[in-house]
Chain A
Amino acid sequence: MTTIILYTVLTLSIIGVLSAIVLYFVAQKFKVYEDPRIGQVETELPGANCGGCGFAGCRAFAEACVNKGELTDLFCPVGGNDCMSGVAGILGIEAEKKDPRVAVVRCNGTCEHRPKTNFFDGPVSCAIAASLYSGDTGCQYGCLGCGDCVVACDFDAIHMNPETGLPEVDDEKCVACGACVKACPKTLIELRKKGPKDRKIYVACRNQDKGGVARKSCAVACIGCSKCEKECKYDAITIVNNLAFIDADKCKLCRKCAPVCPTNAIIEINFPPKKVVLTELPVSAPEKPIEVTVPVSAEPKSSEL
Chain B
Amino acid sequence: MLKSFKIGGVHPAENKLSASKAIEVLALPKTVFIPVGQHIGAPAEVVVKKGDKLMVGQLIAKSSGFVSANIHSSVSGTVKKVETGPDTSGYPKMGIYIDVEDDVWDEQIDRSTELKSEINLDSAAILAKIQDAGIVGLGGATFPTHVKLMPPKGMKAEILLINGVECEPYLTSDHRLMLEHGEELIIGIQLLMKALNVNKAAIGIENNKPDAISQMIKLAYRHTNISVVPLKVKYPQGGEKQLIKAVTGREVPSGALPISVGAVVTNIATTFAVYEAVQKNKPLFERVVTVTGKSVKNPSNYKVRIGTTISELIEAAGGLPENCGKIINGGPMMGKAFANTEIPVNKGTSGILMMPEKESKRSETMPCIRCSRCVSVCPMGLEPYLLMTLSEKQIWENAENEKVMDCIECGSCSYTCPANRPLLDYIRLGKGKVGALIRSRKQ
Contact = CB atoms under 8 A, between A and B. Distances in A.
B442 interface: no
Nearest to B365: A123
B115 interface: no
Query: Is the contact region of chain B dominated by helix, strand, or loop, or is it mixed?
Result: loop
Interface string A203-246: 00000000000000000000000000000000000000000000
Given A118-B339, A123-B422, A132-B89, 18 more contacts: A117-B339, A118-B337, A118-B340, A121-B360, A122-B362, A122-B422, A125-B426, A128-B425, A128-B426, A131-B428, A133-B89, A133-B91, A133-B336, A133-B337, A134-B90, A134-B91, A140-B90, A140-B92
Nearest to A118: B339
A132 B365 CA distance: 19
B439 interface: no
Interface of B: 88-92, 326, 336-337, 339-340, 360-362, 365, 422, 425-426, 428-429, 432
Max chain A Cβ within 10 angstroms of own Cβ: one of B426, B429, B432: B429
A128 B429 contact: yes
B36 to A, nearest CB: 18
A134 B88 CA distance: 9
A117 B340 contact: yes
Given A127-B429, A134-B89, A140-B90, A121 B362 contact: yes
Query: Is the contact region of chain A dominated by helix, strand, or loop, or is it mixed?
Result: loop
A178 interface: no
A135 interface: yes
Contacts of A121: 326, 360-362
Contacts of A125: 425-426, 429
Contacts of A131: 428-429, 432
A123 B339 contact: no
A117 B88 CA distance: 14
B90 A133 contact: yes
Contacts of B426: 123, 125, 128
A131 B424 CA distance: 13
Max chain B Cβ within 10 angstroms of own Cβ: one of A122, A132, A135, A140: A132
B40 to A, nearest CB: 16
A117 B337 CA distance: 13
28 contacts: A117-B339, A117-B340, A118-B339, A121-B326, A121-B360, A122-B362, A122-B422, A122-B425, A123-B425, A125-B425, A125-B426, A125-B429, A127-B429, A128-B422, A128-B425, A128-B429, A131-B429, A131-B432, A132-B89, A132-B336, A133-B89, A133-B337, A134-B89, A134-B90, A134-B91, A134-B339, A135-B90, A140-B92
A126 B429 CA distance: 11
